[in-house]
Amino acid sequence: MLLCVAGRPHLIFGRVVRLIRSSGGSAFRRQLGYLVTGICALALLCLLAGCTEPDEVALGTLEWDRIALPAPAAEKIVAIHVREGQRVSPGQVLLQLDPEQTLARLGAAEAAVAQQSAALQALNDGPRQEQIARARAELEAAQAEARDRQADYQRIVALGKKNYASRSDIDGAQAAAETAQAQVRAAREQLLELERGTRPEDIEQGRAALAEARAQAQAQRVLLEKLTLRAPRPGIVDSIPFKLGDEAPLGGSLAVLLTGAAPYARVYVPQSMRLRVQVDGQAQVFLEGIGEAERLAGRAGPFPGRVRMVRNAPSFTPYYALTGDDVTRLSYIAEIQLGKAAAQLPAGLPLRASFSGNVGAPVPDGEFHGQPNPTPQSAPVESAEDEPPALPATEDPDQYGPYDGEK
């Protein structure tokens, strides 16, 4: 009804004047009519002022930075030390997962570290003196055996010259003597190896094996520490998806924290406002949907803020909105960081944001993205001869997009 009145104010004004003049009467009645006429005119002016177009705003919700704490292992929850909505400090214990399996793996890793450490120590110490003495005794035994085999071979050869030994016996004695000599050389090389000590390459391999074992043990220690879930930053516990006794999957969110000194406004900027919204620009945020008492107390705002992020890609980009007047249906997600005055506001409140013209330092004259500004020139007047020929009226299926059935 108000829209109808505001749309035709002259009709209402004329009707009131005709009613008063048609009634006739004294001068008092005429003065009263003039007074009523003035009041009606004033009321119509107020209605017209209220029907003016409001300033463009971006709508959105109040949000906090969220931190999701994932499960480091698929273990059972054995203790929950906080509740949802509780404020926590850095390092405070939130949950405890079952550490039994991790403790067993840590024990096995520490045993492997001790084994590799002892092996590296043995490589650094080299062979024992008893091993060297045994190798020397084996060499002497091999030399004695070689002398005996050589003597047997000489005797067999002498008998063969007198036809008292066959050729096969001579060959067998020769092979036994050569085998004994080979055993002597093997024993000598083994003794030389022990006397020279451990090779540097073996020591390096031992060090690498020890480092690997220590790394595995450290990984188990870190995992054991992660089983005690702690708050990385100060904040408020927003949600704990799992209950006591549940076994969360690997990587599942065990707790969600709301962090930061103040919340931020997540708004959807219309395409008509996109050029005025820039990073580090100033903004004013007003809360919506709160009670009249809170509004009178000043809790509805305005809250000053700074634009910290604006998405370059629109959040809603249909094919048919890329051309024509429908391009105004695009919207861009922006985030406005608020100050400490909004530190006590909860997440999820609806809001509206307005942006001032201050969008950072102005661009100097003659510069625009690193290139000089061209000299402004008046647009040439196009004549009828310069107009491009009209295209034939054909229906292009891609003009409105493949999913728009209306042409």
Q: What is the pLDDT of residue 278?
A: 87
Indicate if 36 and 75 belong to the same structural domain.
no
Domain co-membership, 112 together with 212 = yes
User: Is 366 contained in some domain?
Assistant: no
Asked if the model's pLDDT at residue 106 lies above 80, the reply is yes
The strand order across the sheet containing 77-80 reads: 77-80, 93-97, 228-230
Residues 201 and 123 in one domain: yes
pTM over 0.85: no
Burial of 375 (0-12, 13-18, 19+ CB in 10 A): exposed
pLDDT for the residue 110:
94
Here the CATH number for the domain that contains residue 70 is: 2.40.50.100
Could you say which of 218, 235, 268 is where a domain stops? 218
> Mean pLDDT lowest for which of 56-60, 105-109, 307-311, 398-402?
398-402
Tell me the CA end-to-end span of the chain in Å, nearest whole number: 35
Percentage above 70 pLDDT, the chain: 69
Q: At a CB cut-off of 8 Å and minimum separation 6, what does 330 contact?
A: 270, 271, 314, 316, 317, 321
Q: Is residue 322 domain-shared with residue 293, that is, in the same domain? A: yes
pLDDT digits (tens, 9 = 90+) for 247-286: 889 988 999 998 888 889 999 988 888 888 888 888 888 8
Highest mean pLDDT among 44-53, 239-248, 327-336, 338-347 belongs to 239-248
Q: Is residue 406 part of a domain?
A: no
pLDDT (tens digit, 9 = 90+) per residue, 1-43?
444 444 454 555 555 555 555 555 555 456 555 665 667 666 6
Residues 243 and 169 in one domain: no
What does the pLDDT read at residue 38? 66
Report the chain's C-alpha Rg in angstroms.
47
Q: Which percentage of the chain shows pLDDT scores above 90? A: 21
Q: Within this chain, do residues 235 and 212 fall inside the same structural domain, yes or no?
A: no
The verdict on 121 and 214 lying in the same domain is: yes
Q: What six digits make up the tokens of 148?
A: 């005996």
For the chain, how many structural domains are there in total? 4
Mean predicted confidence (pLDDT) in 325-347: 80
Q: Are residues 175 and 231 both part of a single domain?
A: no
- For residue 264, being part of any structural domain is answered with yes
Strand partners, 259: 65, 235
**What average pLDDT does the chain have?**
76
Looking at the structure, do residues 88 and 237 belong to the same domain, yes or no? yes
Claim to verify: residue 323 and residue 346 sit in the same structural domain? yes
pLDDT band, residue 45 (cuts 50/70/90): low
Phi, psi for 153 (deg, rounded to 5)? -65, -40
pLDDT at 202: 87
Residue pair 300/243 in contact (Cβ under 8 Å)? The answer is no
Tell whether 303 is covered by a domain: yes
What burial letters (b/e) apply to 195-219, b meaning 16+ CB within 10 Å?
A: eeebeeeeeeebeebbeebbebbee
Structural domain of residue 170, as residue ranges?
Answer: 108-218
What's the pLDDT at 164? 80
Residue 58 has pLDDT above 70, yes or no: yes
295 found inside a domain: yes
Whether the pLDDT of residue 363 is over 50: the answer is: no
Residue 380 has pLDDT above 50, yes or no: no
pLDDT bucket at 44, cuts 50 / 70 / 90: low
Residues 237 and 191 in one domain: no
pLDDT digits (tens, 9 = 90+) for 164-182: 878 888 888 889 888 988 9
pLDDT tier at 163 (50, 70, 90 boundaries)?
confident
